[in-house]
Amino acid sequence: MNTTTFDLPRRHALQRRGAMDWAFALLVLAGGGYAFSRYQASMDVYEQAILGFTLPTLIALGWFWKPLRWLSLATGAAVLLAIALYTRQMDDFGADLAAGEQVFLLKYMLSSQSAILWMSLLFFMSNLFYWGGFFTGAGRHSVAEAAGSKLAWGGVFMALVGTMVRWFESHQIAPDIGHIPVSNLYEVFVLFCWMTTLFHLYYEEKFATKSLGAYVMLVVSAAVAFLLWYTVARGAQEIQPLVPALQSWWMKIHVPANFVGYGCFALAAMVALAYLLKTATTRALLVGLVGVPGFIIVLIVAVRLLADVTPQTITGLDGWAGKIAGVMVFLGVCVALRSRLSARLPDLPQLDDLMYKAIALGFAFFTIATILGAFWAAEAWGGYWSWDPKETWALIVWLNYAAWLHMRLMKGLRGAVSAWWALVGLLVTTFAFLGVNMFLSGLHSYGEL
């Protein structure tokens, strides 16, 4: 035995932490202690347990990925400032929500709606700068992409501020209205936007490439566009009381776990699109990227003409047909410019590895979310599984990615086939998330558009 290896110091992971690591941990614990002492009366035992679990998790994540600690501290400081501005003039519930329209910083920056609008703007600008990197000269493309990355960080920051402040605002309306903001489409789209972007930023640093930002921020920008439309069309930014089925602590863990999965699947699909632009023949791209949306339009038209649907649903179907036609035009432009859009992409093995890691992580969390959803269903409706449309399509999504991982790990699936599969998987996931809410009814009808 070579004993020299045992002469080297083998310090425990905790002993390798520096002063900044421990300072971050102390600040997180201090913030958690403040939240517990200030809001303990509003939390049940489950919420207290979730808070207790969140603190060491956030510390570990901050130690693992240093940019996350600065994001956490900046978010905490901004939220505390917003709360201080709200509580400067107290009312019966502890804060004057009218200050959101009167105090300059709240009205234009830190109220939940203002912060989410800033998030939307920053994500759009990030996408523009990332895409600008493809069309600028040597050297300038890296400047544009670096700006896109910084704007993406800014968007995540404003999204987190908006989410946390909205949580506080909901508790100030009335004691029985306050809830974690993951209860409707407006709130979960904010969750999807910042979570998908954060996953991208992590892999951007890990794989040392910013050229994928244009692809990933494309799907984030689409989600932001939907969010803005939903806000204008439905006034969705208004905080509403929870329906009885959502008044459960299961929601606080089921929904975020679900959207870790959705975010990872969206990331994998955009990486798959980059992979295909880099490798597939022009004919295959045109058949796939134009043929698949074209088939969806034909299906929508068939439903429009043959099915017994309401006028409101017909209007919605026609609107989605137009949106998909726009997507087809955009994808056709991507195919035409594929040489420029794929020139600086990472190598194919790196893209394939990123696609696999994103799907594996998303599948793990989606599995956890599905199990948690079954427990929630048992509590709310008396049964773990009822073949509700939402549950059925969640199972289809799970089986799709389970088959993808099986084929990769057991059969060595690689290349264009796995990329096409991941791209189609996003369509399946999108229907499970939005299509079921639009066209099908069931126990999850509280999530209708």
Q: What is the dihedral of CA 179, 180, 181, 182, to 10 degrees?
A: -110
Give domain status of residue 416, yes or no. Answer: yes
CA gap 165, 112 in Å, rounded: 5
Give domain status of residue 43, yes or no. Answer: yes
The pLDDT value recorded for residue 432 is 84
Nearby residues of 393 by Cβ (< 8 Å), 6 or more positions away? 428, 431, 432, 435, 436
Structure tokens at 238: 């208004």
Q: DSSP letter string over 166-233?
A: HHHHHHHH-TTT---S-SSHHHHHHHHHHHHHHHHHHHHHHTT--TTHHHHHHHHHHHHHHHHHHHHH
Give domain status of residue 357, yes or no. Answer: yes
The label of the residue with tokens 């696999």 reads 356
Q: Choose the final residue of a domain: 36, 64, 92.
A: 64
pLDDT tens-digit series, residues 188-235: 999 999 999 999 999 999 888 888 898 999 999 999 998 998 888 777
Give domain status of residue 194, yes or no. Answer: no
How wide is the angle at C-alpha 54 spanned by C-alphas 51 and 59, nearest 5°? 135
The pLDDT value recorded for residue 285 is 61
The pLDDT value recorded for residue 398 is 94
Nearby residues of 204 by Cβ (< 8 Å), 6 or more positions away? 149, 210, 212, 213
Q: Choose the final residue of a domain: 32, 64, 96.
A: 64
CA gap 52, 294 in Å, rounded: 50
CA gap 297, 316 in Å, rounded: 13
How many separate domains does the chain show? 2
**Cα separation values, 440 from 5, 78, 169, 406, 446, Å:** 63, 40, 32, 30, 12
Q: What single letter denotes the amino acid at residue 6?
A: F
pLDDT per residue, tens digit, the chain (449 aa), is 454 444 444 455 666 778 888 899 999 999 889 888 887 877 778 778 888 899 999 999 999 899 999 999 999 999 999 988 888 766 555 667 777 788 889 989 999 999 999 999 999 999 999 988 877 766 666 888 899 999 999 999 999 999 999 998 888 887 778 888 888 889 999 999 999 999 999 999 988 888 889 899 999 999 999 899 888 877 778 888 887 777 777 888 888 999 999 999 999 999 998 888 887 655 566 566 666 666 565 655 555 555 445 554 545 555 555 556 566 666 666 666 666 667 778 888 999 999 999 999 999 999 999 999 888 888 877 777 778 878 888 999 999 999 999 999 888 888 888 998 998 899 889 888 887 776 665 555 555 55
CA gap 45, 54 in Å, rounded: 14
The label of the residue with tokens 């058949």 reads 287
Structure tokens at 211: 């050229």
Smallest CA-to-CA distance from 106 within 65, 165, 59, 57 is with: 165
Structure tokens at 203: 């892999």
Predicted structure pTM score: 0.85
The pLDDT value recorded for residue 400 is 95
Q: How far apart are the first and last CA of the chain?
A: 67
The pLDDT value recorded for residue 3 is 47
Q: Choose the final residue of a domain: 11, 29, 64.
A: 64
CA gap 434, 312 in Å, rounded: 16
User: Domain range for residue 338?
Assistant: 270-449
Give domain status of residue 364, yes or no. Answer: yes
CA gap 31, 441 in Å, rounded: 42
Give domain status of residue 406, yes or no. Answer: yes
Give domain status of residue 256, yes or no. Answer: no
Q: What is the dihedral of CA 151, 159, 120, 109, to 10 degrees?
A: -90
The pLDDT value recorded for residue 359 is 95
Q: Tell me the three state secondary structure of residue 81.
A: helix
Structure tokens at 190: 């904010």
Q: Phi first, then psi: give them for residue 250, nearest 5 degrees.
A: -60, -35
Smallest CA-to-CA distance from 125 within 149, 108, 103 is with: 149
pLDDT tens-digit series, residues 230-250: 888 777 788 888 877 777 778
Give domain status of residue 436, yes or no. Answer: yes
CA gap 6, 295 in Å, rounded: 64
